[in-house]
Amino acid sequence: MKNVAKGSLRISPEILGDFGKNWGFFLAWGVALTILGILSISFSTFTTLVSIIFLGFLLLFSGVLVIMDAFQFWKGRGSSFFIQFFMGLLYSLVGLVFIFRPLAGSISLTLLLGAVFVVLGVFRIFYSLSFGLPRSGWILFSGIITLLLGILVLAEWPVSGLFMIGLFVGIDLLFLGINYIMAALLARKL
Residues 23-58 have pLDDT tens digits of: 888 889 999 999 999 999 999 999 999 999 999 999
Host domain of residue 118: 102-157
Q: Is the pLDDT of residue 13 over 70?
A: no
Q: Where are the alpha helices (DSSP H) in 101-163?
A: 102-131, 136-155
Query: Looking at the domain assignment, is residue 76 inside a domain?
Result: no
Query: Looking at the domain assignment, is residue 142 inside a domain?
Result: yes
Query: Looking at the domain assignment, is residue 81 inside a domain?
Result: no
Domain count of the fold of the chain:
1
How many whole angstroms separate alpha carbon 98 and alpha carbon 90?
A: 12
Q: pLDDT category, 75, cuts 50, 70, 90?
A: confident
Query: Looking at the domain assignment, is residue 133 inside a domain?
Result: yes
Q: What is the per-residue pLDDT for 32?
A: 94
Query: Looking at the domain assignment, is residue 186 inside a domain?
Result: no
How many whole angstroms separate alpha carbon 46 and alpha carbon 5?
A: 44
How many whole angstroms separate alpha carbon 37 and alpha carbon 176?
A: 9
Contacts of 42 (CB under 8 A, 6+ apart): 170
Q: What is the per-residue pLDDT for 80?
A: 81
Going by C-alpha positions, the residue among 122, 111, 119, 121 that lies closest to residue 165 is 111
How many whole angstroms separate alpha carbon 184 and alpha carbon 30?
A: 8
Supply the pTM of this predicted model.
0.67
